[in-house]
Amino acid sequence: MKNKSLLMLTIAFAGIVGFSSCSKDENLAPKFTKAELSADNKIITVTFSEGVYANADKTGALDATSLLVTAPADIDFTYTVDHTAGNATASVNLVITSVIQGTEKFTIKPASATSIYDNEGEPMEAAAMIESNAASKDLGIMGKWLSEGDNVAPLLVTYFNVLKVEAEFKTDYTYVVNQFNIGNTTTVPDLVFTGNYVIEKSTFDNIWTVTVNQDLPYAAVASGIFEVKTNPEVLWYEVVQTSGTQNVPPTPADGFGSSNGGTLGTINIQKFIRVQ
């Protein structure tokens, strides 16, 4: 009887050891552990619980077909993915062409149940996901703006017959400005200006400097200042063309109305209301 009891204990112990061994050797699916967006909102660094691959046979680096990145519907962006096969981190490179307020979330998921594997061929669950908050930033002039009625600079009305101006300063530092002249009752602008811009915040109140490098409808450079005033939010914008002229741009120190040493007064100050 004693031997029989000893045999049963031995079998039970062997069963426990065997079960423990199986649990210890069980391979877990890879998981997301961290996703951090850089301060300039250009790179999300995604960290996994272990090294990962695009294929079950321990080959292939992750790419844009491996990860699905989404954001709120009003954020326009594209992305690519940099990764080395077997590494536990990947870089999601964002190109955002709309304004980021800093409150948005980017969501990262596997593109499918067969998109990401560990070194034992275990796939990442399709339902796995992680979020990364957008970085807050001082948008400056970035966004879409509308100037019409009394907000149009008197200089533009008097000398250039301007009725309305639609301006979009994009987060990739390009811009599009649509000019509608007096008498135009259509949605087609009379002139479209495009190019790129450079902005820098000054130490004078909330005034920024801006340099506009225009490509179309003709090449030109303009410089000046702007300030986004709040309650309500209104963009004050004053620039002069400096290329091919003797114009002197306004400065943050001298404030609005300082174009050409103040000779233009306030007639060159354009005001915009933010529309996005």
**Which CATH number belongs to the domain containing residue 88 in this structure?**
2.60.40.1220
Share of the chain above pLDDT 90, in %: 74
> Are 111 and 58 part of one and the same domain?
yes
pLDDT band at 230 (very low <50, low <70, confident <90, very high): confident
Angle, alpha carbons 162-163-169 (nearest 5°): 80
pLDDT band at 205 (very low <50, low <70, confident <90, very high): confident
Residue type at 125 in one-letter notation: E
Share of the chain above pLDDT 70, in %: 91
Q: What's residue 246's pLDDT?
A: 96
**Boundary (domain end) residue, out of 133, 166, 201:** 133
Q: What's residue 25's pLDDT?
A: 60
Please count the residues of the chain: 276
| pLDDT at residue 152 greater than cutoff 70 | yes
pLDDT band at 244 (very low <50, low <70, confident <90, very high): very high
Q: What's residue 92's pLDDT?
A: 97
User: What is the domain count for the chain?
Assistant: 2
Residue 152 and residue 166 in contact, taking contact as beta carbons nearer than 8 Å: no
- Please indicate whether residue 273 or residue 100 has the higher confidence score (pLDDT): 273
Rounded CA separation 114/89 (Å): 18
**Boundary (domain end) residue, out of 133, 167, 184:** 133
Handedness of CA 236, 242, 246, 251 (dihedral sign): positive
Domain presence at residue 138 = no
> Are 47 and 105 part of one and the same domain?
yes
Q: What's residue 102's pLDDT?
A: 82
Span 95-143, pLDDT tens digits: 887 777 788 899 999 999 999 999 999 999 999 999 999 887 778 899 9
Q: What's residue 26's pLDDT?
A: 77
Phi, psi of 155 (to 5 degrees): -60, -40
Span 54-106, pLDDT tens digits: 999 999 999 999 999 999 988 889 999 999 999 999 999 998 877 777 888 99
- Give the C-alpha distances (Å, rounded to integers) separating 72 from 16, 105, 111, 139, 209: 50, 7, 18, 18, 31
- Please indicate whether residue 26 or residue 118 has the higher confidence score (pLDDT): 118
> Are 230 and 254 part of one and the same domain?
yes
> Are 123 and 54 part of one and the same domain?
yes
Domain presence at residue 1 = no
Closest CA to 31 of 48, 55, 54, 53: 48
The whole-number average pLDDT for the span 147-175 is 96
Range with lowest mean pLDDT among 15-19, 120-124, 263-267, 270-274: 15-19
User: Model's pTM, two decimal places?
Assistant: 0.58
> Are 177 and 228 part of one and the same domain?
yes
> Are 181 and 116 part of one and the same domain?
no
Determine if residue 166 is left, alpha or beta; phi over 0 gives left, psi from -120 to 50 gives alpha, anything else beta: beta
> Are 45 and 148 part of one and the same domain?
no
Q: What's residue 96's pLDDT?
A: 83
Q: Please name the residue that has the structure tokens 């079960």.
A: 19
> Are 189 and 103 part of one and the same domain?
no
> Are 77 and 103 part of one and the same domain?
yes
Q: What's residue 5's pLDDT?
A: 52
> Are 208 and 94 part of one and the same domain?
no
Q: Find the domain containing 81 and state its range.
A: 32-133
Residue 257 and residue 269 in contact, taking contact as beta carbons nearer than 8 Å: yes
Q: What's residue 232's pLDDT?
A: 77
Q: What's residue 4's pLDDT?
A: 52
